[in-house]
């Protein structure tokens, strides 16, 4: 691998501390996981603006709603599994419906949680969040992008869901470029097929593109960091120009990013398509690499999917 | 103890009666809604909006206003009635309850209705949301207070107790909760569905200052709230013993009027009992 691996959580913590310095309206809540999510960094710097809610995620979401309704910009963190399904009603009723300024930034999403197993490996959170009206859904590709996203969403009004992982991930984005919401960067140009990734799978798409050049295939790679609102323009343009699309996500193929892309293509421009992602099953304990292989999230899986799409292109 | 002259109390009681009439009329016209829990809360709401809260109906977003959260959102008719009486929107608008395009949704929506501080309806959220407001007040060194009205059935909800713990832990003495202890929830009496007693001991054990009152007695509502305002370092819960359906003979203690609109005949009887068919 050609990239440096870095922690998204660490950059989240760093961005939060900067935000805390820049703005007095930033308040952070956590549910007894602050050392893992790295909101502890903010807690250390601004103890008076950090509230540990204990192991009480539902309570935390509604508390966040109340703070936001009183003018605060609230960041709420826990593990993705506890910050979505566990308190879905609270997010729906008290944050999304009243369109409140709460940023749900959750870590440990997907199967790269590893050893903790399926109870902690949420593979359906994107689905849960993207069906909520008013909710913006962002999956940063790496640590650098995580930092930019956190700084960006603090300026946005309304609820946002930001999904980051536990493991260190390859840094593929550069410091200089600015994060633009709902504008998916083409991180590698190409004309034969498009690989659309989000989160940790963007780097896998880039590796797959390298692999495909060995077969004389010129693949385009898109970093679809914003799942909602979705960048229809870039997706349709890529489909039109390359004639085939592969999506890759560390999430269930049911109703995740790939499904969102499929919906755009079905309604706008039909091309052969294949979704790489976790099949409709729960995960299990294991090392990250093992799990990525077992559940079909490898570079080879993407390459294979690209070949399949190319075959159907003709 | 402050002494309130009889005239003032009579005035509040008259407002409560008007709220009850509005509730019956709104629910009758809408053809659905929750009369029982709206009527049991009417006196507390009248006291809040016409005496206790520091608020300005002309400026619903005044940053220093006291906040009221209707955690038992199904009592929306009573909230809308008191908001209209207080001048947040025209009384005429009350008849739009539950109609398409109305600002008065079946359950409170803060985006739509002036004066509604938190969207509710799914039970058990209100206290935690109120705590958030209370934390914000402390952070901003503001003196506004937060009042939350919960149903007693809502005490079944785990989040209520999570929030109770949080408020005590953060010493949210700017939070006052009223529990509308009408002893009925949807399926039956609270003590049959999910027993709550000893309720007062539970709140005490969670670190709260507890006061028990007759929730239909204006003086007791006001005195208890004044007491709560003086309690430092811990939140206060006022367990208000009430009667579900209070004010309409056949609705009092009647389980089936938890969530059912009155028929035409029932409507007419109720309006007569509440002192007139014109609110
Ligand atoms: C989470 C949730 N579950 C169920 C309901 C349906 N529901 C509406 S009112 C009610 C009973 C509420 O009882 P209580 O809190 O005692 O209210 P009151 O008797 O004062 O009307 C129920 C179960 C709901 N609104 N929210």
Q: What is the pLDDT of residues B125-164, one digit of tens each?
A: 999 999 999 999 999 999 999 999 999 999 999 999 999 9
Domains of chain A, CATH where assigned: 5-170 (3.40.50.970), 186-313 (3.40.50.920)
Query: What's residue B4's pLDDT?
Result: 78
Q: What is the pLDDT of residues A25-59, one digit of tens each?
A: 999 999 999 999 999 999 999 999 999 998 889 99
List of chain A residues whose C-beta atoms are within 8 Å of the C-beta of residue B129 = 62-63, 65-66, 69, 94
ipTM reported for the complex, 2 dp: 0.80
Q: What is the mean pLDDT of chain B?
A: 95
Say what the pTM is: 0.89
Please tell me if residue A51 touches chain B, with a CB cutoff of 8 Å: yes
User: Is pLDDT above 90 for B5?
Assistant: no
User: Is pLDDT above 70 for A131?
Assistant: yes
In our burial notation (b when 16+ CB lie closer than 10 A, e otherwise), range B231-265 reads eeeebbbbbbbbbbbbbbeebbebbebbebbbeee
Q: Tell me how far apart the alpha carbons of residues A286 and B169 are, in angstroms, rounded to a whole number.
A: 39
Of the candidates B227, B266, B228, B230, the residue with the CA atom closest to the CA atom of residue B250: B266
Helix, strand, or coil (residue B180) = strand
Query: What's residue A286's pLDDT?
Result: 87
Token pair in block for residue B98:
């539950």
The superfamily (CATH) of domain B6-273 is Thiamin diphosphate (ThDP)-binding fold, Pyr/PP domains (3.40.50.970)
Q: What is the mean pLDDT of chain A?
A: 96
User: Is pLDDT above 50 for B279?
Assistant: no
**Domain boundaries in chain B?**
6-273
Of the candidates A29, A31, A54, A58, the residue with the CA atom closest to the CA atom of residue A42: A29
Query: What's residue B1's pLDDT?
Result: 52
Atom number in ligand 1 closest to CA B36: 21
Q: Residue with structure tokens 């520091």?
A: B54
When pLDDT is cut at 50, 70 and 90, the band that residue A1 belongs to is: low
Query: What's residue B247's pLDDT?
Result: 98
Query: What's residue B2's pLDDT?
Result: 62
- What are the pocket residues of ligand 1 if the criterion is a CB atom closer than 6 Å to any ligand atom? B 34, 36-37, 40, 72, 74, 121-124, 151-154, 180, 182, 184-186, 244, 258
Range B89-96 average pLDDT: 97
Range A57-67 average pLDDT: 97
CA distance A292 to chain B (A): 36
Contact criterion met (CB below 8 Å) for B274 and B247:
yes
């Amino acid at each position: 691998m050609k990239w440096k691996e870095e922690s998204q959580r660490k950059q989240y913590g760093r961005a939060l501390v900067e935000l805390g310095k820049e703005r007095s309206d930033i308040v952070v809540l956590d549910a007894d996981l602050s050392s893992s999510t790295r909101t502890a960094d903010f807690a250390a710097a601004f103890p008076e603006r950090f509230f540990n809610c204990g192991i009480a995620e539902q309570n935390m979401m509604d508390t966040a709603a109340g703070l936001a309704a009183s003018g605060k910009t609230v960041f709420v963190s826990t593990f993705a599994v506890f910050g979505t399904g566990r308190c879905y009603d609270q997010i729906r009723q008290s944050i999304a419906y009243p369109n409140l300024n709460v940023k749900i930034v959750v870590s440990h999403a997907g199967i790269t949680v590893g050893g903790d197993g399926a109870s902690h490996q949420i593979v359906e959170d994107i689905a849960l969040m993207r069906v909520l009206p008013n909710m913006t859904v962002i999956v940063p590709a790496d640590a650098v992008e995580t930092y930019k996203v956190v700084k960006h969403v603090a300026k946005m009004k309304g609820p946002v869901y930001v999904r980051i992982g536990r493991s260190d991930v390859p840094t593929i984005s550069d410091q200089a470029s600015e994060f633009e919401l709902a504008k998916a960067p083409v991180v590698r140009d190409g004309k034969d097929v498009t690989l659309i990734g989000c989160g940790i799978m963007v780097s896998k798409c880039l590796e797959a593109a390298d692999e495909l050049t060995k077969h004389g295939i010129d693949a385009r790679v898109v970093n679809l960091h914003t799942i909602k609102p979705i960048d229809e323009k870039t997706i349709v343009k890529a489909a039109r120009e390359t004639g085939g699309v592969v999506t890759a996500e560390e999430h269930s193929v049911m109703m995740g990013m790939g499904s969102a892309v499929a919906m755009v293509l079905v309604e706008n421009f039909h091309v052969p398509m294949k979704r790489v992602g976790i099949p409709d099953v729960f995960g299990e304990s294991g090392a990250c690499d093992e799990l990525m292989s077992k559940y079909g999230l490898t570079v080879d899986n993407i390459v294979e999917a690209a070949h399949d799409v190319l075959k159907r292109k003709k | 103890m402050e002494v309130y002259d009889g005239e003032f109390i009579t005035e509040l009681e008259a407002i409560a009666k008007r709220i009850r009439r509005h509730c019956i009329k709104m629910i009758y016209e809408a053809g659905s809604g929750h009369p029982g829990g709206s009527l049991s809360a009417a006196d507390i709401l009248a006291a809040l909006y016409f005496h206790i809260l520091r608020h300005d109906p002309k400026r619903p977003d005044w940053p220093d206003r006291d906040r009221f959260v209707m955690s038992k959102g199904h009592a929306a008719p009573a909230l809308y009635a008191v908001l209209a009486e207080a001048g947040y929107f025209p009384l005429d608008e009350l008849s739009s309850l539950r109609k398409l395009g109305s600002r008065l949704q079946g359950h409170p929506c803060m985006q739509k209705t002036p004066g509604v501080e938190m969207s509710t309806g799914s039970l058990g959220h209100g206290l935690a949301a109120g705590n958030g407001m209370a934390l914000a007040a402390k952070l901003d060194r503001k003196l506004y207070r937060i009042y939350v009205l919960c149903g007693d059935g809502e005490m079944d909800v785990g989040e209520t107790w999570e929030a109770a713990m949080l408020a005590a832990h953060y010493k949210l003495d700017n939070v006052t909760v009223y529990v509308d202890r009408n002893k009925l929830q949807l399926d039956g009496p609270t003590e049959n569905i999910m027993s709550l007693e000893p309720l007062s001991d539970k709140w005490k054990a969670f670190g709260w200052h507890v006061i028990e009152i007759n929730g239909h007695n204006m003086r007791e509502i006001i005195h208890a709230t004044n007491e709560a305002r003086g309690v430092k370092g811990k939140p206060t819960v006022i367990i208000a013993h009430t009667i579900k359906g209070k004010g309409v003979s056949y609705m009092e203690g009647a389980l089936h009027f938890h969530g059912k609109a009155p028929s035409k005949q029932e409507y007419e009887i109720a309006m007569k009992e509440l002192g007139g068919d014109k609110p």
